[in-house]
């Protein structure tokens, strides 16, 4: 089951956005996952940013075991760029930076996050 994250301290987020290395990527990934969980609560899509985080979001069919009906997987740098509005979901998908499958796997309506 995916984890529930809490938004990070705003000062820590600002500092991490300036650095974007190592532990900054972990903090930002989890922070923006928390914001996505708040904006799109649900269990029909699993968003994975290995090795840092995975969350289940977006209303729809509840997922309880195995692979969910929709999965979005991407790296931390891409996730942060999407969350901050530096990159659009369709462009990231077209460039192969996002692997999305299943119904409701388009995160465009929920991005950017902040």
Interval 45-101: pLDDT, tens = 999 999 999 999 998 876 566 677 899 999 999 999 999 999 999 999 999 999 999
For position 29, what pLDDT does the model report?
Answer: 97
For position 59, what pLDDT does the model report?
Answer: 87
What residues have CB less than 8 Å from 32, skipping those under 6 apart?
Answer: 79, 80, 83, 84, 113, 114
Q: Residue 87, Cα to own-chain centre: how many angstroms?
A: 13
Q: Residue 44, Cα to own-chain centre: how many angstroms?
A: 14
- CATH number 3.30.1050.40 given to 10-110: yes
For position 105, what pLDDT does the model report?
Answer: 93
Mean pLDDT of 8-20: 95
Cα separation, 47 vs 86, whole angstroms = 19
Closest C-alpha among 53, 55, 92 to residue 70: 55
């Amino acid at each position: 089951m995916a984890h529930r994250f809490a938004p990070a301290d705003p000062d820590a987020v600002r500092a991490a956005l300036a650095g974007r290395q190592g532990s900054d990527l972990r903090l930002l990934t989890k922070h923006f996952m928390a914001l996505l969980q708040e904006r799109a609560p649900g269990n029909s899509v699993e968003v994975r940013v290995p090795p840092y985080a995975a969350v289940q979001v977006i209303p729809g069919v509840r997922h309880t075991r195995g692979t969910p009906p929709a999965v979005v997987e991407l790296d931390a740098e891409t996730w942060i760029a999407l969350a901050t509005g530096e990159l659009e979901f369709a462009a990231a998908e077209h460039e192969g930076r996002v692997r999305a499958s299943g119904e409701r796997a388009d995160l465009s309506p929920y991005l950017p996050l902040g």
